[in-house]
Structure 1
Amino acid sequence: MKAIAYYERLLNHYAEMPDNEPFDAPIEAVAGVLACTRRNAQLVLRRLADEGYIRWLPGRGRGRQSRLVLLLTRRELALRKARLLVEREHIQEAWQLISALQEEAGIAGDEAAAWVSGQFGLKRSQEERDVLRFPFYRPVPLLDPAYVTRRTEAHWLKQIMNTLVDYSRKDKAVMPQLAHHWEADASFQEWTFFLRKGVYFHDGRLFTPDDVVYTFERVLQHSPSDWMKQLIKDVQPAGKHRIKFQLAEPAAAFPNLLCTERFSIVPQGWDGREAGMPVGTGPFRIVKNNESMLALEAHERYFEGRPHLDRIEMWVWPDYEGQPAPDDMRGNAHLLYSEGQLNRGASAGAVLQQLEQGATYLSFNLAKPGPLQDRKLRFAFHYGLDRFRMVEELQGIRVLPACGFVPESERASAAYAASFNPDKAMALVKQSAYAGEQLQLYTYSMRSNEENAAWLQAECAKLGIRLQVVVLPIEQLADPAVIARADLIVAGEVLGEQPDITLIEMYRSGCGYIANHLDPQHKAAAEAQIAACLRQPDDKARLALLQELEEQLKRDCCLLFLHHHMNIVGHDRTLGGISINAWGKINYKDVWIHG
């Protein structure tokens, strides 16, 4: 980048000189512009000429002046600078420069953005290393399993780490992972897991039972609000390749609970200080994670077989949905998680879609004194919000009004959403204890959340209900003290590979929105239902119990369901092994390249 800085000095000093035409430039004057000695100025000019910035015509003989030709315009220099930043993996700086170019120079910014788009997709090196590169709108600095709460981070943990067991949607069963077998006593309170031999962490250490003990002690100690702390009484090695858990209550579903990402196994002694660079046993290892890029490379000794891809690069491009997608995807194997990009440029590729398991909802804080203790006011929200219009106006990946966390038939969703009756809603507001107080509506930072909150604020104003929107980082909104201050929270719950287990976690989590907003009566009812769930070995029976709980909360209007999302992934047809997981993402270990 030094060459660019030197050229910028020349360009600024000789701004009045014509482009691509020689002009007199004595070496002494040039040395002054470059703030260096005559000898160093000659070296700099030679370098700039070699790299195509200038032509330098040194004066030879008495009375002959040296002449200089500036070959790049300011626009061309900015384009070159953006490319160099990208090539050196300074993606954030490149994005800022291109954004500024688009505002100031229009076409130049679009050219730079188009060039960046061309860097995405499959890149095969001369050594035939397959690198998959794609954009994402934010970095992922927190990949410590003990603290992960967002779907993207949970998805990345699955690429770099393993749990003792894992759930297979295809087989609808818990499958071996770091443990190859497990068994329980008759009470379902003592569980023994038999560990694989010859499993290596990314740093070369051999996996042992001590790593399992360390992982669970760390999670339970670092997450004081974690409800599993009350369930797991003890975890100890039971031999060189066995681990034993003692539980405080019967839990036939215990193996299912261990599939969750926060129980991903870390090596003994990993303290989480480098939270963006965890060490795992998974198919990929992290080699870089900063504000510009997350880069993973294949784990050569992965116990389930080396991945086909050699490297994955997620470039942090905050406005990538606003950038033009290439007209033809066939030249590169692209992977896009943006519906905006898909709509503009993915016609040559394939598009996978699935209705997301989960829903966006509005939680009422019944644990806080105030007007929301009045059922009439809560039902005013229910009758006063037109879910169909919310989906239609906000669009994006919102596709269907919701009547519960698990998507049901369109008829059931339509019946719930069809309760919209603004006259009845306004009558209930007048009959309620609401006296015009400003209620605090919290959500966490994400564009779709902020759109939802703004829409709710505007619609409630029509009913005479005043809402103040408070947007916080998700880490702050995971604090029970902050959750307790909110009158309402609008958020989404994405059900993982096991919807029943995600819901159990949601209702029991010490940092969950609904769990913290329930009044003592509803909290006791939820706890009794969850305890019954844990005793059930069958997932369908657990889900039925959870749906009974959901119906009770709906009857008392403890929360309102708003809408469901559609997961969309676009990819080039040269990518094989593509399927969408519960998070709406791709499991990269299975991806391979045609040809």
Structure 2
Amino acid sequence: MHIAEHYFRLYNHLYTDSSELTWEITISEIANILFCSNRNAKYIIKELKELGWIDWTPSPGRGKSSKLIFLKSSESIFFQLAEDKIANGDFTWCFNQLNYFSSLTQEKFFTLIKDFFGFHENTQNQKTIDLLRLPFPASFLELDPLNEQSAEEIQLINHIFDTVVIFNTKDNKVDPHIAHHFEFDSTGTKLSLFLRKGVFFHNGKELDGYDVKYSYERIKYDTKPSLLKNIFTNIKDISVPHPYIVIIKLFEPNHLFLHFLGSFETSIIPHNIIEEAGKKFFTKPVGSGPFKVTENNGKGLTLEAHSIYFKERPLLDRIEFWCIPEIVYYDTTISTNLSPIQFTELKELEKGAAFLSFNLRKPGICQSKDFRMAIQSGINKVSLAELSEGSVATDYFLSEDRCKNSFHPALAKKYIERAGYGGEKITLVTLEGKQYENGAKLIKKQLHQLGISLEVKIIKYRELWNEEIILIGDIFLLKELAPDNLEIDLITILNSNNSIIKHLLNKDVSEKINRILNLIYWEFSISRRYVQFKRIERLLLDEAAVIFLTKGRRRFLFFSSMDVSLQGDGINYNNLWLKPNT
């Protein structure tokens, strides 16, 4: 613990609004305040005196009170240290100290660091560097496309690596990317990829078919279970008859296979480098994307423009992502103040929904469909929607149809009686963040009025798939979106290794969903595939396995310090630019 933290704790415990800065206190009392031994308390007091922060006059005799005088306010010491910490990018230490201070001091701190983030024009070696600094909710990053990644990490991966194809969300089709052309044979089991020449990795090596083959075989033979691994088990053979041609043969047709080749997990990596570096490769990965990693030190990650990118070079020269605690980053009030990226909402509804998912694998009252129907009838979705501006109540994930009035407390009580509920406590699991926590609080209040005892457990995002959490949670309050490739996003939500819905469904419902998904893979028609997805949605609703609650509005991203705006849920850093000072 930093010596200043001992000072903050001692100062907070003793100081009042009066001007009195002198106290009669024993070493034992100080040790109790600082949660340490008497011996350590003496060392701490000695160091604080040497720093000139206190004056200490010991009294002779064991157990007698000595005189302690605070010479500096804790706030002045905090800001003195915070300036150096910020200069070195150590934001975590600063945020961890804020609990010791008033809201006014916290506001002064945010004012201090706000200028650090955002767009800057620097000079380096007589050259102008356009720089963007952003907060980031993690520390030391391993950017392996095959590992579980947060939405923010996926965004980084999408800028560091490339895929052979990309999905065009505007036209709802697959477009060429690293592969300038692709074609299936008449059987739908042979895919030929024709690669561009002149696509270079960040280390200067030209990308070829052997890198594509290695990247795909790495997925197929990965030891960790995943949705993509399951899809790639359908690969019979991958061959490279020419450095710029890759032929993939499948056991069975899959009309969504090409779509999967545009997902971030299929990012192409240079086979010779990763074989030499092993897992260390992903702390400073080499891709062919528009930005390359130049720094990853635990305090932050730096990306610089890939000057010979095969498409347009990014307009920014450098992006620095500085690590701040997750609980701070996901507090929208705070993160909005830190970042130049601001959000406003459109009239268009999000593709997706907030929902409750029941744990059908855990023994207990939630095994009763009547009890699940009771909760569905006992929740006022309209009230939940009012918690988030612009949100609307919904009964569906796919459809934008208006919510039917399913709030019937009297009917809910009948279902409760039929289910034989005896007052046992139900655990609702949700994520950190005001959106989730406020929703969980309101649901608890509504169910309490029906006589249902609900305990809310708040967890971090990365804890969601812990087996311990799955075992204790009866109901999960979550949100899923399908903003990009609707079909692949839906399959990921339903059937990926990270799918919480998949982990909570019982064997019978899971098998029914898998049978429908197999029909989807075989189906060539987009419209007929959509009908099958609607069947899955209907199945979940009929089983009362999932209750869809609310839909938010799509977000419109804009940058407060420049004339740039982007529509959507992600950010394409390639197109951002800083208007030069003149």
Question: TM-score band, normalised by the shorter chain?
Answer: 0.7 to 0.9
Partner of 1:259: 262
Using the TM superposition, give the Cα deviation of residue 473 of structure 1 relative to its aligned residue in structure 2, in angstroms: 4.1
Alpha carbons of structure 1 residues 509 and 77: separation in structure 2 relative to 1, 3 Å: closer
Report % sequence identity. 26
Partner of 1:28: none
Secondary structure of the residue aligned to 2:417 is: helix
1:241-252 residue pairs with structure 2 within 5 A?
241-252=244-255
Using the TM superposition, give the Cα deviation of residue 482 of structure 1 relative to its aligned residue in structure 2, in angstroms: 5.4
Q: Is residue 532 of structure 1 aligned with residue 519 of structure 2?
A: yes
Partner of 2:180: 180
Using the TM superposition, give the Cα deviation of residue 264 of structure 1 relative to its aligned residue in structure 2, in angstroms: 1.5
Moved more, 74-83 or 509-518: 74-83
Q: Is residue 120 of structure 1 aligned with residue 117 of structure 2?
A: yes
Alpha carbons of structure 1 residues 471 and 144: separation in structure 2 relative to 1, 3 Å: farther
Partner of 1:404: 396
Secondary structure of the residue aligned to 1:419 is: coil
Q: Is residue 111 of structure 1 aligned with residue 108 of structure 2?
A: yes
Using the TM superposition, give the Cα deviation of residue 315 of structure 1 relative to its aligned residue in structure 2, in angstroms: 3.0
Using the TM superposition, give the Cα deviation of residue 587 of structure 1 relative to its aligned residue in structure 2, in angstroms: 0.6
Secondary structure of the residue aligned to 2:191 is: strand
Alpha carbons of structure 1 residues 189 and 577: separation in structure 2 relative to 1, 3 Å: farther
How far apart are the structure 1 equivalents of 2:180 and 2:140?
31
Alpha carbons of structure 1 residues 458 and 147: separation in structure 2 relative to 1, 3 Å: farther
Secondary structure of the residue aligned to 1:593 is: coil
Q: Is residue 299 of structure 1 aligned with residue 300 of structure 2?
A: no
Partner of 2:224: 223
Alpha carbons of structure 1 residues 371 and 248: separation in structure 2 relative to 1, 3 Å: farther
2:341 is aligned with what amino acid?
L
Summarize deviations over 1:43-78 as a string: whole Å, max 9, x none.
xxxxxxxxxxxxxxxxxxxxxxxxxxxxx9875554
Alpha carbons of structure 1 residues 355 and 161: separation in structure 2 relative to 1, 3 Å: farther
Alpha carbons of structure 1 residues 224 and 136: separation in structure 2 relative to 1, 3 Å: closer
How far apart are the structure 2 equivalents of 1:437 and 1:231?
46
Partner of 1:288: 295
Summarize deviations over 1:524-551 as a string: whole Å, max 9, x none.
3322221222223343432232022212
1:183-222 residue pairs with structure 2 within 5 A?
183-220=183-220, 221-222=222-223
Alpha carbons of structure 1 residues 480 and 253: separation in structure 2 relative to 1, 3 Å: farther
Secondary structure of the residue aligned to 2:391 is: strand
Q: Is residue 489 of structure 1 aligned with residue 476 of structure 2?
A: yes
Summarize deviations over 1:204-225 as a string: whole Å, max 9, x none.
3332223223222323414324
Q: Is residue 335 of structure 1 aligned with residue 322 of structure 2?
A: no
Partner of 1:65: none
1:498-517 residue pairs with structure 2 within 5 A?
498-517=485-504
Summarize deviations over 1:226-256 as a string: whole Å, max 9, x none.
3324433443333211222232321112111
How far apart are the structure 1 equivalents of 2:511 and 2:499?
16
Number of aligned residues: 509
**Of the candidates 561, 585, 588, which is equivalent to residue 570 of structure 2?**
585
Using the TM superposition, give the Cα deviation of residue 378 of structure 1 relative to its aligned residue in structure 2, in angstroms: 1.1
Give the root-mean-square deviation of aligned CA atoms.
3.6
2:429 is aligned with what amino acid?
Y
Secondary structure of the residue aligned to 1:128 is: strand
1:562 is aligned with what amino acid?
L
Using the TM superposition, give the Cα deviation of residue 553 of structure 1 relative to its aligned residue in structure 2, in angstroms: 1.9
Alpha carbons of structure 1 residues 424 and 538: separation in structure 2 relative to 1, 3 Å: same
Using the TM superposition, give the Cα deviation of residue 145 of structure 1 relative to its aligned residue in structure 2, in angstroms: 0.9
Secondary structure of the residue aligned to 1:171 is: coil
Are the equivalent residues in 2 in contact too, given 1:145–1:263 (CA < 8 A)?
yes
Alpha carbons of structure 1 residues 207 and 481: separation in structure 2 relative to 1, 3 Å: farther
Partner of 2:448: 461
Are the equivalent residues in 2 in contact too, given 1:123–1:132 (CA < 8 A)?
yes
How far apart are the structure 1 equivalents of 2:428 and 2:420?
18
Are the equivalent residues in 1 in contact too, given 2:352–2:397 (CA < 8 A)?
yes
How far apart are the structure 2 equivalents of 1:222 and 1:454?
40
Partner of 1:130: 130
How far apart are the structure 2 equivalents of 1:100 and 1:475?
24
How far apart are the structure 2 equivalents of 1:477 and 1:294?
25
Alpha carbons of structure 1 residues 454 and 109: separation in structure 2 relative to 1, 3 Å: closer
Summarize deviations over 1:543-587 as a string: whole Å, max 9, x none.
232022212321221210011233445534664553133xx1221
1:181 is aligned with what amino acid?
H
Alpha carbons of structure 1 residues 526 and 591: separation in structure 2 relative to 1, 3 Å: same
How far apart are the structure 2 equivalents of 1:377 and 1:307?
54
Partner of 1:358: 352
Alpha carbons of structure 1 residues 316 and 413: separation in structure 2 relative to 1, 3 Å: farther
How far apart are the structure 1 equivalents of 2:78 and 2:289?
41
Are the equivalent residues in 2 in contact too, given 1:352–1:580 (CA < 8 A)?
no
Q: Is residue 155 of structure 1 aligned with residue 142 of structure 2?
A: no
Partner of 1:232: 235
Q: Is residue 442 of structure 1 aligned with residue 429 of structure 2?
A: yes
Summarize deviations over 1:177-229 as a string: whole Å, max 9, x none.
12111111222122121122222222333322232232223234143243324
Summarize deviations over 1:333-358 as a string: whole Å, max 9, x none.
x6325x6xx8xxxxxxxx87863321
How far apart are the structure 1 equivalents of 2:571 and 2:565?
7
With normalisation by structure 1, the TM-score equals 0.76
Partner of 1:414: 403
Using the TM superposition, give the Cα deviation of residue 259 of structure 1 relative to its aligned residue in structure 2, in angstroms: 1.4
How far apart are the structure 1 equivalents of 2:297 and 2:556?
25
1:82 is aligned with what amino acid?
A
Secondary structure of the residue aligned to 1:403 is: coil
Alpha carbons of structure 1 residues 458 and 280: separation in structure 2 relative to 1, 3 Å: farther
How far apart are the structure 2 equivalents of 1:424 and 1:370?
21
Alpha carbons of structure 1 residues 358 and 153: separation in structure 2 relative to 1, 3 Å: farther
Summarize deviations over 1:365-412 as a string: whole Å, max 9, x none.
3344433332211111110111111122x33x671223222351xxx2
Alpha carbons of structure 1 residues 249 and 109: separation in structure 2 relative to 1, 3 Å: same
Are the equivalent residues in 1 in contact too, given 2:236–2:249 (CA < 8 A)?
yes
Alpha carbons of structure 1 residues 34 and 207: separation in structure 2 relative to 1, 3 Å: same
Alpha carbons of structure 1 residues 100 and 375: separation in structure 2 relative to 1, 3 Å: closer
Using the TM superposition, give the Cα deviation of residue 175 of structure 1 relative to its aligned residue in structure 2, in angstroms: 1.0
How far apart are the structure 2 equivalents of 1:322 and 1:542?
41
Using the TM superposition, give the Cα deviation of residue 173 of structure 1 relative to its aligned residue in structure 2, in angstroms: 1.7
Summarize deviations over 1:481-540 as a string: whole Å, max 9, x none.
854664322222121411111112222224422223333433233222212222233434
Alpha carbons of structure 1 residues 510 and 123: separation in structure 2 relative to 1, 3 Å: closer
**Of the candidates 304, 309, 315, which is equivalent to residue 308 of structure 1?**
315
Partner of 1:558: 545
Are the equivalent residues in 1 in contact too, given 2:391–2:551 (CA < 8 A)?
yes
Alpha carbons of structure 1 residues 358 and 84: separation in structure 2 relative to 1, 3 Å: same
How far apart are the structure 1 equivalents of 2:74 and 2:461?
41
Alpha carbons of structure 1 residues 101 and 401: separation in structure 2 relative to 1, 3 Å: same
Secondary structure of the residue aligned to 2:265 is: helix
Are the equivalent residues in 2 in contact too, given 1:398–1:563 (CA < 8 A)?
no
Partner of 1:171: 171
Partner of 2:505: 518
Partner of 1:86: 86
How far apart are the structure 1 equivalents of 2:203 and 2:434?
37
Using the TM superposition, give the Cα deviation of residue 113 of structure 1 relative to its aligned residue in structure 2, in angstroms: 2.1
Using the TM superposition, give the Cα deviation of residue 257 of structure 1 relative to its aligned residue in structure 2, in angstroms: 1.6
2:121 is aligned with what amino acid?
R
Alpha carbons of structure 1 residues 481 and 121: separation in structure 2 relative to 1, 3 Å: closer
